Amino acid sequence: MSQPESSDTHFFNSFSVVLGILIAFTICLFAFARGLGREYQLRDVRDDPILKQEVKQNTTPFAREAVAGQDNSALAITAAPAGGASGSAAAIPTTGEQAFKEVCSACHAAGLNGAPKAGDKAAWAPRIAQGKDTLYKDAINGKGLMPPRGGTTWPDATIRMTVDYMVSLAK
161 binds ligand HEC (CB under 6 A): no
Could you tell me the smallest distance in angstroms from the CB atom of residue 113 to ligand HEC?
4
Whole-angstrom Cα distance, residue 26 to residue 40?
Answer: 21
Stretch of 16-24, 40-48, 68-76, 135-143 contacting ligand HEC, by CB under 6 A: 135-143
Q: Provide the mask over 44-63, with x wherever binding to ligand HEC is found by CB under 6 A and - wherever it is not.
A: --------------------
Q: Which residues contact 48 (CB under 8 A, 6 or more apart)?
A: 110, 112
106 binds ligand HEC (CB under 6 A): yes
The amino acid occupying position 108 is H
Query: Which residues of this protein are in contact with ligand HEC, per CB under 6 A?
Result: 99, 103-104, 106-108, 112-116, 127, 130, 134-135, 138-139, 143-147, 149-152, 159, 162-163, 166
